[in-house]
Copies of this chain bind each other. A is one copy, B any other.
Amino acid sequence: MAPDPTTLHGGSLLIAWQLTNKRVLIVGGGDVASGRLESALVADANVTLVAPAPLHLLTQELVDLLPDRITWHDREFQDSDLLVDPAEQKYVSMVFTAIDSFPESQRIARLCNDLRIPVNAADIPALCDFYFGSQVRSGPLQVLVSTNGKSPKLANLIRKRIESVIPPETAEAIENVGKLRERIKERAPGVGGQVSKKRMRWMVDLCGKWSMEDLACLDDETMGALVDGGWEKGIVPAPTDVMGEKALQSNGHALNGSAKGEPERRHAGVTPVVAAFVAGALLSGLTVLSRLRR
């Protein structure tokens, strides 16, 4: 398909930034800072928090809860806070400012810009390397909704709509698929080439054939059965072949429109129709009978 130049502008680069074992500096201890703190912790960062007491309630709770991951300095920002290791001139990996002083926030953001430290300065979009948006989190699943600054409220409404169509078993299904990938990598190790392609194809087939709730039902034992009876034979068995009754107990929230998920959704619509038919039949029958007996 030829590229459409009209769509090639006006957006942002949406990315999943990695912060595991990295240090994030948060300047500020209020409401906004507490949201930033949670986001950094979710991403496995270690955090240096610089803000004079008192902290926002949630921030204080997080500081008390995770003293190993959060270092709190009860004072105003100092330029040296940007350094993790002054001897090696090693800087923090990322900075969030959320303070009331516009000039100080601007000054910190400019310092970061000069040092190429990624920075988000609350309320100063022009100096931000990146923005946050509305977010959904469900275990390993994360979704970011951005309207590119045009309407935070609509972003929030869209986020709610997205949340409502992600079935609760999705998180478990993703975790299980992750575990299964690791088990198959143990059986058939190697990066790149044919084995890598074969693994990918089998995983894609599995995720296409099994519903979310079937994937969510996998446990250690059934995962083993799936590897032995499926992967080793180069086939993707049906959920019932691997899990028996367990596969039938799932509740029809299939996200992937599998052969199993669809009829159950239809079923959900059929039940009230049948019930109404029976109710109508009973009521009418009884009415006719009672009238005839009078």
Query: Would you call B13 and A39 a contact (CB within 8 A)?
Result: yes
Instruction: Kindly identify which residue among B91, B142, B181, B292 contacts A148, using a CB–CB cutoff of 8 Å.
Output: B142
Hey, which chain B residues are within 8 Å of A42, CB to CB? 7-11, 13
Query: Would you call A12 and B7 a contact (CB within 8 A)?
Result: no
Instruction: Kindly identify which residue among B8, B13, B207 contacts A66, using a CB–CB cutoff of 8 Å.
Output: B8
Hey, which chain B residues are within 8 Å of A149, CB to CB? 178
Q: Which of A138-173 contact B (CB under 8 A)?
A: 139-151, 153-154, 157-158, 161-162, 165-166, 170, 173
Question: Do A144 and B15 contact each other (CB < 8 Å), given the known contacts A44-B10, A273-B272?
Answer: yes
Nearest chain-B residue to A125 (Cβ)?
B18
Question: Do A41 and B8 contact each other (CB < 8 Å), given the known contacts A13-B16, A144-B14?
Answer: yes
Nearest chain-B residue to A175 (Cβ)?
B150
- Cα(A58)–Cα(B5), bound, Å: 12
Hey, which chain B residues are within 8 Å of A118, CB to CB? 118
Q: Which of A110-144 contact B (CB under 8 A)?
A: 115-118, 120, 123, 128-133, 135, 137, 139-144
Nearest chain B CB to A211 CB, angstrom units:
10
Apart from A15-B144, A123-B192, what are 7 other A-B pairs with CB-CB below 8 Å? A7-B137, A13-B94, A15-B15, A91-B116, A140-B147, A141-B145, A142-B146
- Name 23 A/B residue pairs within 8 A (Cβ), A-sorted: A8-B66, A9-B44, A10-B140, A11-B137, A12-B19, A13-B19, A13-B40, A13-B45, A15-B131, A18-B130, A116-B116, A123-B191, A141-B145, A142-B146, A147-B174, A153-B177, A153-B207, A154-B174, A154-B207, A162-B162, A276-B276, A277-B277, A282-B284
